[in-house]
A and B are shown apart, each in its own frame.
Chain A
């Protein structure tokens, strides 16, 4: 059997997920040996645009040129895997997707200057444009989760990711609950997989892994309001990384609150 044909691509983001693949260091050599990497522009020069078994895509889509490239990758790939928060949920650059105002922010940065490279779009996750078979969460992705997912994918099996929030991992580590200390923590809303790294450093979870599967925004929102945070502050904090997705849920909540007040 020939090695699975793989492409690794990066769009708008920090390149941290591709960097984490390079960060596999001593296992990188094994990885390059187990699969046939046809394209990985961040790591090598002789890249080919051919049919792929698996395409790994990092980053959100924020220009028309990128959108065309993404569609082209999709048309060549049997399986498309979104890697990292930007590809999965849009990332910080999509935090105001639900709120509008992109034109104004764009002008705030580039003024009226004409940029001929490509037309800019407000950043959106990959699955806003093409079908995505699998999402590997993380900001950036975790080496162990990535390597284990790759070995399952090449063996034709479905990888497993935690379906519960950071709080579960935090309990495993026997950390004191940061919310109980009266500090804002995005742990209950955020997908596990990072090993509750921030709470383990006495720092509240910032929500960078994206929304957890059994997301209960309502309960967290209510809890934080009870703790004295304003609705604007809560929205701002919990939309930092997976804004577009969480903001949709938040929007419904705020409306419900307003109706209840009436």
Chain B
């Protein structure tokens, strides 16, 4: 028996590793281990007011900070029957577009691309691919700027709140976002070209199921009250427990999810598979050019899906900012009750994020947070195992397995900090 280890798994957010146990030519097991320490956030927010909760929960993860904030806001607004004004809704759409551009460009260019081109980091690519690294930094910086303008800060902004925003951006800031999103579009298109020119290895291909939110009005989007499943079904987000049925495994401080006893995938590829037909503009053309049924089997294509999504996000900023600029600043909508429950579902860059709350007399009694990476962990292991088995069957040396396995895990854009912080629901 021999064990191969990749510890730490570099260029991901958080502390994880891959352990492959080999028995002769057979792969006994492949596990994605989560070493990131537990924080027990959902237990800590018990007894807090909803306002305090939305300060704390975004700290689960810096990369998905606004997704956490928004999922919590959606869940708590349902619980307290708050009806947010239109301008606040549009601001939330805009902040999610910003986070999507920021996170997708960080992951594709700076974290994933070095593997495909054979470098240890994006910095090491500077001599040979300087223009592309700079392109990535421009896109990422712009995504951060949109997050800053909408949320008040690049990371952990407190401006988005229950019922509205503390302060709305100026017309100048909004037109600046609009202008710059148009200017940066060629950089995003170049990202799609780069990732569509890559030869993706077939070793990890296994058919699976994909889940995403169903964005309202038949549009492609990053939040919704129901969940689309790639088998054609649709379920209310309130049924998130059935969709994710969690369990604890010995090699991880992150819990695991299965749907109908089978692993599934969430993320940009799932969004494209379920909502790709709704894309418009250049994003629609790029999707049509690049989409094939390989997307249903090959996790590496999530990188390509993320780049198409950057194009979509940039193309939708001008319209969103114009709508925001045309509306007067509304007062915050108030809570109409102090007891209730609600589930918020949003698309973090790496997939569906659920926040479920039960509030009693103004204080949180139950918080249940299910992160996208936790939903993906089982499926990551399935694809890792398939890859290891096929490579060994072809007579590859043990050491040759390591990089391809890392690349598969990385393709899911795992956010290990997020994944350790999910907590199951314990009724009191």
Give the complex CA separation of A139 and B248 in angstroms. 30
| B152, closest chain A residue (CB) | A201
Of the listed residues A10, A13, A44, A117, the one surrounded by the most CB atoms of chain B closer than 10 A to its CB is A117
**Provided the pairs A41-B8, A206-B55 are in contact, do residues A108 and B158 lie with their beta carbons within 8 angstroms?**
no
Of the listed residues B39, B110, B122, the one surrounded by the most CB atoms of chain A closer than 10 A to its CB is B39
Mask: chain B, 153-167; 1 = CB below 8 Å from A; 0 = not: 111111101000111
| Distance to closest chain B CB from A104 (angstroms) | 8
Contact check, A12 vs B47: say whether CB atoms are below 8 A apart.
Answer: no
**Provided the pairs A47-B10, A105-B40, A117-B35 are in contact, do residues A10 and B15 lie with their beta carbons within 8 angstroms?**
yes
Contact check, B106 vs A109: say whether CB atoms are below 8 A apart.
Answer: no
B159 partner residues in chain A, CB cutoff 8 A: 201, 203
Size category, B interface: 35 or more
* A16 on the B face (CB < 8 A): yes
Of the listed residues B65, B120, B121, B252, the one surrounded by the most CB atoms of chain A closer than 10 A to its CB is B121
Chain A residue total in the interface (Cβ 8 A): 67
* A110 on the B face (CB < 8 A): yes
Q: Which of A15, A26, A117, A203 contacts B62 (CB 8 A)?
A: A15
**Provided the pairs A14-B65, A15-B417, A236-B48 are in contact, do residues A139 and B37 lie with their beta carbons within 8 angstroms?**
no
Contact check, A45 vs B121: say whether CB atoms are below 8 A apart.
Answer: yes
| Distance to closest chain B CB from A86 (angstroms) | 8
Contact check, A93 vs B253: say whether CB atoms are below 8 A apart.
Answer: no
* A73 on the B face (CB < 8 A): no
Contact check, B62 vs A16: say whether CB atoms are below 8 A apart.
Answer: yes
Contact check, B252 vs A203: say whether CB atoms are below 8 A apart.
Answer: no
Contact check, B37 vs A120: say whether CB atoms are below 8 A apart.
Answer: yes
| Distance to closest chain B CB from A103 (angstroms) | 11
Give the complex CA separation of A26 and B156 in angstroms. 21
| B15, closest chain A residue (CB) | A10
Tell me which of B80-88, B136-144, B258-266, B275-283 binds A: B136-144
Contact check, A12 vs B37: say whether CB atoms are below 8 A apart.
Answer: yes
* B191 on the A face (CB < 8 A): no
Q: Which of A47, A95, A114, A140 contacts B155 (CB 8 A)?
A: A140
CB-CB contacts below 8 Å: B100-139 with A: 106, 110, 114, 120-124, 126, 137
| Distance to closest chain A CB from B194 (angstroms) | 19
Contact check, A202 vs B167: say whether CB atoms are below 8 A apart.
Answer: yes
**Interface of chain B: mostly helix, strand, loop or mixed:** loop
| B141, closest chain A residue (CB) | A25
**Provided the pairs A29-B123, A42-B11, A47-B10 are in contact, do residues A19 and B155 lie with their beta carbons within 8 angstroms?**
yes
| Distance to closest chain A CB from B321 (angstroms) | 18
| Distance to closest chain B CB from A46 (angstroms) | 4
| Distance to closest chain B CB from A135 (angstroms) | 18
| Distance to closest chain A CB from B360 (angstroms) | 16
* A189 on the B face (CB < 8 A): no
CB-CB contacts below 8 Å: A1-48 with B: 10-17, 19-20, 22-23, 25-26, 28-29, 32, 41-47
A11 partner residues in chain B, CB cutoff 8 A: 15, 37
* A154 on the B face (CB < 8 A): no
Mask: chain A, 200-237; 1 = CB below 8 Å from B; 0 = not: 11110010100000000000000000000000000011
* B78 on the A face (CB < 8 A): no
Contact check, A109 vs B42: say whether CB atoms are below 8 A apart.
Answer: yes
Q: Which of A17, A108, A116 contacts B251 (CB 8 A)?
A: A116
| A12, closest chain B residue (CB) | B37
Mask: chain B, 233-274; 1 = CB below 8 Å from A; 0 = not: 000000000000000111111000000000000000000000
| Distance to closest chain A CB from B18 (angstroms) | 13
Contact check, B11 vs A117: say whether CB atoms are below 8 A apart.
Answer: no
CB-CB contacts below 8 Å: A154-200 with B: 194, 197-198, 200
Footprint of B on A, CB under 8 Å?
Answer: 10-17, 19-20, 22-23, 25-26, 28-29, 32, 41-47, 59-63, 65-66, 91-93, 95-96, 102, 105-106, 108-111, 113-118, 120-121, 123, 139-140, 143, 194, 197-198, 200-203, 206, 208, 236-237, 240
The 7 closest A-B pairs by CB, nearest first: A16-B62, A62-B37, A44-B121, A113-B248, A12-B37, A93-B39, A201-B166
Q: Known contacts A42-B11, A208-B55; can you find 7 more A-B pairs with CB under 8 A?
A: A15-B14, A25-B140, A105-B43, A115-B250, A197-B153, A200-B152, A240-B56
A-B contacts, 17 listed (Cβ < 8 Å): A12-B36, A15-B13, A16-B59, A19-B155, A20-B62, A41-B8, A42-B10, A42-B11, A43-B123, A44-B120, A45-B114, A46-B121, A62-B37, A62-B38, A92-B41, A105-B44, A206-B158
